[in-house]
Every structure is written in structure tokens, then in C-alpha cells.
Structure 1
Amino acid sequence: MTEQTWFIIAIVIYLAIMLAIGWWGYRQTSQYDDYVLGGRGLPPFVAALSAGASDMSGWLLMGLPGALFLTGMSEAWMAIGLLIGAWANWKFVAPRLRAYTEVAQNSITVPSFFENRLRDKSRALRILSAVIIIFFFTFYVASGMVSGGRYFEATFDGNYLTGMLVVAAITIIYTFVGGFLAVSYTDVVQGLIMLVSLLVVPIMGLIALDNPGDIFSFAADNPYASYTEDDLNTTYFSMFAGVSAAVIIGNLAWGLGYFGQPHIIVRFMALRSPSEAKAGRFWGVSWMALALLGGLMTALVSTVYFAQNDAAVTDQVNFETVFLDLSRILFHPLIAGLVLTAVLAAIMSTMSSQLLVVSSSLIEDLYKIVAKTKPSERTLLLLSRGAVLVVALIALALSINPNDSILGLVGFAWAGFGAAFGPIVLASLYWKRLNSAGAIAGMATGAVVSIGWGMSPLSDLMYEIVPGIIASTVVMIIVTLATKPPQQEIVDEFDEAVTLAERKTPVRAAAEPAATEPKTIS
């Protein structure tokens, strides 16, 4: 059989597993809360790998190895920032958010939590949050579909549109049918595929080298990639050479974005109990550290392997195909095909998580506000699935003729969410004095500053998340202190959430005596 045939067999196996998990998720989903948040019953291992897989898209397997391969260790600052940010997110946000979202009227989306936490009777905070989510994630999903089409072009020499439609269709089906559980458990499979691939490929590449120790010196002393004898990359192993302090700070600041990413922190809300955030942190950070190490080692091995074996990297501009090319060379086509599904897994896991978050915001944060009567569980389930389909179709329309404006949005969408939501999430969990006026002002400021900065020449000086977070935080504090303090019941609820976050029993069980009198917005 030809290489392409083996690749197709591998992809079919992978896609069949995704659909099977989607069907399983459908069988487990009978209530609206199950579809949106899995009934708050996610084990820490599942929550951790789901958060990691939905976070790390194709950048982990293509962008990071390519940047490290071409430029050197100075590109590692972003990975370091992300690892620190992920640890801090699990440590400081996960347990309190898990407790507080249930205490605050069983909030099942980030916008509904903001409104319930701060008793915003104007609904402005919830609507603004939902609009930000819907806008950014619709284009984010479109970029994932574009990546899927490009993946099929590069891997199978196929048609872009056909590849995009296949990736989109499978992702839409299991998200549409299985909801949160299907998305979370497919993320686990996808996360494991990504991790195993990122570890196996550089290990096999290292074994194939005549002298494995060369990876720690070769790139700085020899021509490779686009470098020549007269123009060597002598600073390859330096983390500081040719990089300004502003760039280092900006790259490290990627980690700050974690606090405001809806598709990641919603996994914290779905944990079985706040105490399980500790186990989630262990699994999540361990997975991420090993995956990032795999990306680093792939780059180091590739600098030697491609130069010494007279092999060519397909992408001769950004060299983002070193992982894919190394996989094809080292393994039997069937195994290589299974390894190559890691890139597809990264794309689909991120896209499915974003689809579900957008669907949840459309129904929970917009439709339920304007609905004149309380919808039934069946109606909410149907509407949520319909919202997934509508958003996906819009994203598909945007992806048919890909252009830089769509792909460019991904670069500052992370900053937009981090600046708009990050400070508000942290303040909601750790500052009693926060009020709705301060949250609205800070959120709007963070979004506007990060987007404006990202679209200006200033983005070349520093990543827009830094000024966005600073502006959001300053405005949030000033407006909060200049307006009325929160009512006593809000302060009391804050204390209750903090207490419950430190308990080892599930929040639902701890709060059971008060369940007969649900809180209402006053």
C-alpha cells in the first residue's frame, strides 16, 4: 500500500474513535446542565487533560518546534510563561472558581458567574462577557477549520476545502451530539495522542543520530536550515541573545492569559469538588511540562538530523513542519499516520471546546435573558445543539476563503480574553470589594486596549496582553473604589465560597442544608 493509504487508515481509526466517544457522551447527557457542564462530575485527570488539550492547539506540535528549530532557545520564554501560568491557574483559580460558581446560583458559564457573583441587575456585565466570547471564538473556530484544511493539504496532498469539511464535520458531530462530556473525553484521548507523539518522535530521532550528544552543540557550530557556513546561528543556545527585555516580558506574559480563557477555566467549574483541583494541577502541569519538553527536544534533534541525513524540511520559511517531517521519515506509514493525528487532535480539541463555550453563551447568557417563559430541559438541549451548528456554519463560511485577517485574530484573541476576563476572574475570587461597575469598566478597557494595541505598531514592542491587563486592572480598581461597595449578602457569600473551597467534600454536599432556599438576585 502507498504511504497515503496508510495515512488514511490511521485517520479513519482516529475519527471513528472520536465519533464513538461522541455517541457515548450523548447517552450520558439527559439534562441541560449535563450538556453544558457535564453535571459537575469531571474527575481531575479528565479535567486536567481536557484543559491542556483544548489549550494547546497546533502551536504545540508545529509552531513551537518550528520557532525553536529556526531561532533557538530564546523562543522558549513563551513556553516557560505558559507553564507557570497553567500552574498558577490550577493553584489559585480552580478551587475557588469551582466552589464559587455553585454557591453563586449554580452558575454554569463564565458570564453567568460574573453576574451572579456581583448581583448585576442591569445584565450589562453578562451581555458584555457573552458578546466578547461569541465574537472572538467564532473567528477562533474558523481558524481551527482553516488549520484542518491546511493539515489535509500538507499531509495527504488533498483538497483544502475537502479536508476542512471533514475536520469540521467530525468535530461538529461529536460536539453537537455529546456536549461537554464528549468534548472532555475526546480531549483526553487527543491529549494522550499529543503527549505520546511528542515524546516518541524526538526519542526515536535521538536514537537515529550517530552521536546523540550533538544536539547540545551542533546548531551553534554548523550550518542547518537556512544558515550557511558564513552565517551560523552562533547564539542558538542563548535565551537572551537578540531578545529585548520587553519581548521576554511579553512572552512570559502569555501565562497571564490563562486566568481569562473561558474554554479552559470552565473545566475547573466542572470538577467534582474544589479539593480535586490539587490532583488536577498535578496531572495538568505534568502533562504540559512533558509536552513542552517534547516540543523542545523535537527542535533540538531536528537541527542535527536534517543536516546530517540530507533530508529536507517541507516548510522552508517557518520550518513548522519539522515534527511532521521527522515522523514521516522515522516510522512505518501506519505508525507515522497515527503520530500525525496528533496535529489533528490538537486542532479538533481546541475547536470543539470553543464551539461548546460559544453555544453555552448564546443560550445561557443571551437567550435565557430574553426568554419570556422558562424553557424546558428538552428545549434548552435542542437550542444548545442548534447553537453549536449555527456557530459552526458561520465559522465554515469564514473559512472557505482563508485570509490573514482571520488567522491574525488568533494572535490577539488570547490577549483579548486574558485582558478582558483575567483581572475580573481573579478579583471576583479574591477581592470582596469588587462591584459590577468596576468589573464592567475593567472588562471593556482590557478588551479595547489589547485589541487596539495588537492592531498597532506597538505590538512589535510588547505583546498586547501586558498593557491590556495593566489597563484593565487599574480601571477596575479605580471604578470599584469610586462607586458603592457591595451589599452585605455579597460579602457573606464570598466568605461562604472561600470556606467551601477549602473543604474536601463536594460543594453540593456541603451546601445541602441550604438547598431548599436558593439564592435570588436582589
Structure 2
Amino acid sequence: MAVDTLTFAIMTAVYLVIVMVLGYMGYKKTKEAEDFMLAGRNVHPALIALSYGATFISTSAIVGFGGVAANLGMGLIWLVGLNIGVGILLAFVVYGKKTREIGSRLKAVTFPDFMGKVYGSSFMRYASGLIIIIGMPLYASAVMIGGARFIETTFSMSFTTALLVLAAITAIYVIVGGLLAVIYTDAFQGIIMLIGMIILLIFTYVTLGGIGPAHEALTNMASLVPESLSASGHTGWTSMPDLGSPLWYTLVTTIILGVGIGVLAQPQLVVRFMTAKDNKSLNRAIPVGGLFILLIPGVIYTVGALTNVYFFDNKGMLAVQAAGANIDSVIPTYINAIMPDWFVVLFLLTLLAAAMSTLSALFHTMGTAIGHDIIGQKNGEKPSLKKNRIGVLVMIVVSVLLAFIMPGSIIARATAMFMGLCASAFLPAFTHAIFSKKPSTKAAVVSLIVGAVTWFAWTAFVHVKESEALGLCQFLFGQPTLLQNPWPVVDPLIIALPLATISLILVLIIEGQSAVDKNEAMKKSQV
């Protein structure tokens, strides 16, 4: 459908002007490197909540996971519950407060800096930074692809042009304004996302005849599940896959648990806690954050599944078929098919807001990992604003290049991979850091190494979706995966996180026993 070019130009111009003004406001308040990295540690609770939510929910959730919901069904709603329970309540009330207190006391300004100072270990700082700059570009690229795909579908613009424009606009205000600019623009973009999602939900139910008829129609489509999906455990779009089936493992271990648990140790989100003035600010941010998570992913997972009703009624095919077998194109195709021009433009701005809010946080986190944690601080020198800005620019270029070589239908998978890696490598050591009076450096180092190495090994040699694509297992062993069912569909997180946790506990036990033995030996020598 042809979109009103004038309407699009006016709305986009207004949106970009506001973003740039907010970016300039951040720039005016960014005087030193610490301002660039931590926004002065005095951010308003509502801004923290909106920035946290807008960073967490990106085009990966809207485009990628919306397409997954069209393919696998409403079982994805379980992820919303986990996002609220773990990603908001547990994160803010338990993890957030301790992180803010310790970060403020140690004057930590980034996640790797936090880990390094808590443990008094340059290894923990360097290793955390290295994992960020290796793993996070995968996530950033997925977010860029999601935004670019919608622009490409809607306006017949080349994917290359759409991707470069999206990256360039975001880069300007992140490099110039730092974290405060990121938070200001996140809050504005979060409001746009809320408006867009509410309108989308209402319009979908009205088009499909109401809530009851829409869901009943989707339930009655269970017999239309393609044979390939049915053989993998798909039972319909309003029910969970068969317990223990390949699709069940994918939905539960990779998507629900991978994203739901991984949120606790995502560096770009952890930093938000350290921007709060006090713990009361974090408490006041919870209602706004919870509502945001309920409305954004809750709506898109519901609408994603319901797209099957619309496409079957109007085109006689399922949503993924109507989107050319590319899961990442389902939501853009649906929006263009069902919505009036004005909403197509609004939804484009919603996707731009979702993409830019998350991208800005990822670019900032990757850039400071290089500019501050890996090359920025040597021999106790003062943090460099220039090095952080150069670091951001370098990681933007890396992420853009990666986006051009990533395969189709990758958005949701890349997001889950990054979050699983964060949980596997960081979560046990991060948890130990904030809840132990005397955190063990050796236990943290072992846990981080075991979690990261196990995750990468399982990804390369067992989890078939990645191992088959990478080809390393096939090259070395002549087969796409080393293990038999069900292990090739079990997400790396399910193996790596428990092993990392057990490793940390074992080292603590060994260290504790060693201390006891040493004390007993000292007592005997005194006697």
C-alpha cells in the first residue's frame, strides 16, 4: 500500500527534532566521562522506568518475537509474566537496590567496572568487557535488522539505506550526549511505543470481531498447523507445544527462560540501577516499569498469534506463509495489510522508537566497555570522555557490518542468544557480588569462565540451530551436532547457567574448607 509521503515526512521530522533536542539536553549536562557513563546518578524514577523498559523491549520483541508468536502461538505470553516477575520486581527490588548501593560506594560507572571493583580484579573487568563487545553486537544487529525490515517493507526503501539511516541517527545523540541523552530519548520513545501498542491491540480486536471471536477463531485453527510444525510438537496457537517436544524445548528453554532470566544480568540494564539517587527512586519506578512490560510485549505476542486469523480469513494462508516464510516479516506485512496509512506511519515511528531506544543503550554499553573498561583506564588515569565516544563509534560500525551478514528470521534467536550468554557468564558472579559480604574473586573468575565457555561450546557443537549454521561441528566431526535428541534443542543457558552456579559454589566450599584447615593448623602450632 502507498503511504502518504507528506504525512510520513511531517511526523518523522517532528519525531527526529524532538529526539535531537533531547539529545542536546543530554549533551549540555554531560561535562565529564562519568556524566557520559552514568548520567550524574540522579535520574528521575519515571525516566529510569521508561528507559529501562524501552531498552529492554526493542524491535526484537515487536518484530522478532511478534513473528515467533505468529509461528508458535500464545505460549509466548508466559514470557511476559516472567519479564514482570523477574525483569521488574526481582530486578528492581532485590538486585537493583544492592547494585545501586554498592555501585555508589565503589564509584563504579559501568557493569565491567562494577564487577572489577567488587572483586578487586582486573580480570573480571576485562573479561566482562570482552564478553560485552563479543556478544552484544549480535543483539544490536538484530535490533537494527528489525527496524530496517519494517522501513524496507513499508516504503520500498533498500535494506542497506534503511539500516544505515537508523544507525546514523542513533549514533549522533549517543556519541554526543552520553547516557543522559540515552535516558531522555528512551523515555520519549517509550511513550510512543505505549501509544502505538494500545492502538494496535484495539484495532486488531475490532477488525477480528472482538476479543472472544478472535481468540475462538484462533483456537479453531489448530487443525491448520503445518505438518512440519505438528511433527515438532505444535498443538495450536492458543496452547503450549507437547511437553518435551522440540518446539517445547525451543519455546521454554530458549525463549521464555533465556530471555526471562537473562534480563537480570544484562549490562545495559544493570547500569540503569546505578543512575538512581536512592532506593526510594527504584521503588517508585516499579509501577511504571511493570505497566510498560505488560503493555508492550503482552500486546505484540497476542497480536502476533492473531495475525493468523486475519491472513487465513483474507488470503487463505497462515501468517508466516503470507510473509514469504520469513518470521521477521510477519508484523510488518500485517501492519501494511490491515492498518490505515496514518497508523502505518505511527507504527513505523513506534518501531523506530523501539529500535533507537535499545540501540542507543547497546551502543553506549559497548562503547564504554571499550573506552573505559578495556583501554580507557591505565595506571589510575582519569576516565576519558574522548575514548568513550570513540569506543561507541567503533562498536556501531561493527554492529552495522554484522547486520549485513546475519541470516533471515534471526531477530528473536539473536536476542535470546545474547540474553542467555549474559545469564550464563555473569549472573552467578553478579549475584555473589551483591549479596556476599566477602565475595570470592576466585569463585567469580571460575564461574564466569565456566559459564561463558560452556555457553559457547554448547552453541557451537550441540544446539543445532546455531551449530548447524556455524558449521564448525560439521567441519571437525562430520555432523551438525554432537548429541542426540533432546539435547540439540535444549538451549545453552539450561546447561551453562547451572554449571556456572555449581562451579561458584564448589570453589566457595573449597575455599571455606581451606580456611578451616588453616585455622586449625595455626591453633595446633600455637599449642
1:393 maps onto 2:397 in alignment: yes
Q: CA deviation at 1:296?
A: 3.4
Q: Which residue of 2 aligns with 1:501?
A: none
Q: CA deviation at 1:252?
A: 3.8
Aligned with 1:217: secondary structure?
Answer: helix
Q: Is the 8 A contact 2:193 2:296 kept in 1?
A: yes
Q: Which residue of 1 aligns with 2:470?
A: none
Tell me which amino acid in the other structure corresponds to 2:14: I
Distance in 1 (alpha carbons) for counterparts of 2:166 and 2:109: 28
Distance in 1 (alpha carbons) for counterparts of 2:263 and 2:69: 22
Q: Which residue of 2 aligns with 1:494?
A: none
Distance in 2 (alpha carbons) for counterparts of 1:325 and 1:311: 15
Select between 35-44 and 53-62 the one with higher mean Cα deviation: 53-62
Tell me which amino acid in the other structure corresponds to 1:297: T
1:263 maps onto 2:268 in alignment: yes
Q: CA deviation at 1:442?
A: 0.5
Select between 240-249 and 296-305 the one with higher mean Cα deviation: 240-249
1:383 maps onto 2:369 in alignment: no
Q: CA deviation at 1:461?
A: 2.9
Aligned with 2:164: secondary structure?
Answer: helix
How well do the aligned residues superpose, as a CA RMSD in angstroms?
3.1
Q: CA deviation at 1:196?
A: 1.8
1:25 maps onto 2:29 in alignment: no
Q: Which residue of 2 aligns with 1:44?
A: 45
**What whole-Å deviation, never above 9, does each CA across 1:227-258 have from its counterpart, x for those lacking one?**
69xx9x86332235465475535544232212
Q: Which residue of 2 aligns with 1:472?
A: 500
Q: Report the TM-score, using the length of structure 1 for normalisation.
A: 0.83
Distance in 2 (alpha carbons) for counterparts of 1:448 and 1:23: 42
Select between 38-47 and 207-216 the one with higher mean Cα deviation: 207-216
Q: Which residue of 2 aligns with 1:340?
A: 348
**What whole-Å deviation, never above 9, does each CA across 1:311-339 have from its counterpart, x for those lacking one?**
88551425544443444355442332012
Q: Which residue of 2 aligns with 1:3?
A: 3
Q: Is the 8 A contact 1:101 1:107 kept in 2?
A: yes
1:126 maps onto 2:130 in alignment: no
Q: Which residue of 2 aligns with 1:160?
A: 159
Q: Is the 8 A contact 1:190 1:349 kept in 2?
A: yes
Q: Which residue of 2 aligns with 1:296?
A: 301
**What whole-Å deviation, never above 9, does each CA across 1:89-118 have from its counterpart, x for those lacking one?**
1221011100111112x1111122122212
Structure whose residues are more often helix by fraction: 2
Q: Describe the shift of the 1:172–1:431 C-alpha distance in structure 2 as closer, same or farther (beyond 3 A).
A: same
- Any stretches of 5+ residues in structure 1 without a counterpart? 488-522
Q: Is the 8 A contact 1:433 1:485 kept in 2?
A: no
Tell me which amino acid in the other structure corresponds to 1:341: L
Aligned with 1:374: secondary structure?
Answer: coil
Distance in 1 (alpha carbons) for counterparts of 2:391 and 2:216: 53
Q: Describe the shift of the 1:366–1:297 C-alpha distance in structure 2 as closer, same or farther (beyond 3 A).
A: closer
**Identity percentage over the alignment?**
25
Distance in 1 (alpha carbons) for counterparts of 2:257 and 2:235: 27
Alignment map for 1:297-316 (pairs within 5 Å)? 297-299=302-304, 301-310=306-315, 314-316=322-324
Match of 2:92 among 90, 101, 105: 90
Distance in 2 (alpha carbons) for counterparts of 1:28 and 1:474: 44
Aligned with 1:455: secondary structure?
Answer: helix
**What whole-Å deviation, never above 9, does each CA across 1:168-217 have from its counterpart, x for those lacking one?**
11010010111101111111122222222122112022123345421221
Q: CA deviation at 1:267?
A: 0.4
Q: Is the 8 A contact 2:307 2:334 kept in 1?
A: yes
Distance in 2 (alpha carbons) for counterparts of 1:395 and 1:70: 27
Aligned with 1:30: secondary structure?
Answer: coil
- Any stretches of 5+ residues in structure 2 without a counterpart? 465-487, 516-527
Tell me which amino acid in the other structure corresponds to 2:401: A
Aligned with 1:23: secondary structure?
Answer: helix
Tell me which amino acid in the other structure corresponds to 1:183: V
Distance in 1 (alpha carbons) for counterparts of 2:373 and 2:423: 20
Alignment map for 1:346-425 (pairs within 5 Å)? 346-370=354-378, 372=379, 374-375=381-382, 380-403=384-407, 410-425=415-430
Q: CA deviation at 1:401?
A: 4.3
Distance in 2 (alpha carbons) for counterparts of 1:306 and 1:352: 35
Q: Describe the shift of the 1:166–1:20 C-alpha distance in structure 2 as closer, same or farther (beyond 3 A).
A: same
Q: CA deviation at 1:224?
A: 9.7
Aligned with 1:238: secondary structure?
Answer: coil
Q: Describe the shift of the 1:243–1:188 C-alpha distance in structure 2 as closer, same or farther (beyond 3 A).
A: farther
Q: Is the 8 A contact 1:359 1:384 kept in 2?
A: yes
Q: Which residue of 2 aligns with 1:502?
A: none
Q: CA deviation at 1:355?
A: 1.0
**What whole-Å deviation, never above 9, does each CA across 1:30-58 have from its counterpart, x for those lacking one?**
12211111011111211111111111222
Q: Which residue of 2 aligns with 1:504?
A: none
1:436 maps onto 2:441 in alignment: yes
Tell me which amino acid in the other structure corresponds to 2:94: F
Aligned with 2:377: secondary structure?
Answer: helix
Q: Describe the shift of the 1:94–1:384 C-alpha distance in structure 2 as closer, same or farther (beyond 3 A).
A: same
Q: Which residue of 2 aligns with 1:511?
A: none
1:454 maps onto 2:459 in alignment: yes
Q: Is the 8 A contact 1:412 1:451 kept in 2?
A: no
Q: Describe the shift of the 1:74–1:332 C-alpha distance in structure 2 as closer, same or farther (beyond 3 A).
A: closer
Q: Describe the shift of the 1:338–1:156 C-alpha distance in structure 2 as closer, same or farther (beyond 3 A).
A: same
Q: CA deviation at 1:70?
A: 2.8
**What whole-Å deviation, never above 9, does each CA across 1:331-387 have from its counterpart, x for those lacking one?**
4423320122222222222211111111212222123432x5734x7xx22222122
Q: CA deviation at 1:292?
A: 2.5
1:135 maps onto 2:134 in alignment: yes
Q: Is the 8 A contact 2:218 2:306 kept in 1?
A: no
Distance in 1 (alpha carbons) for counterparts of 2:454 and 2:163: 33
Q: Report the TM-score, using the length of structure 2 for normalisation.
A: 0.82
Q: Which residue of 2 aligns with 1:201?
A: 200
Q: CA deviation at 1:281?
A: 2.0
Q: CA deviation at 1:458?
A: 4.0
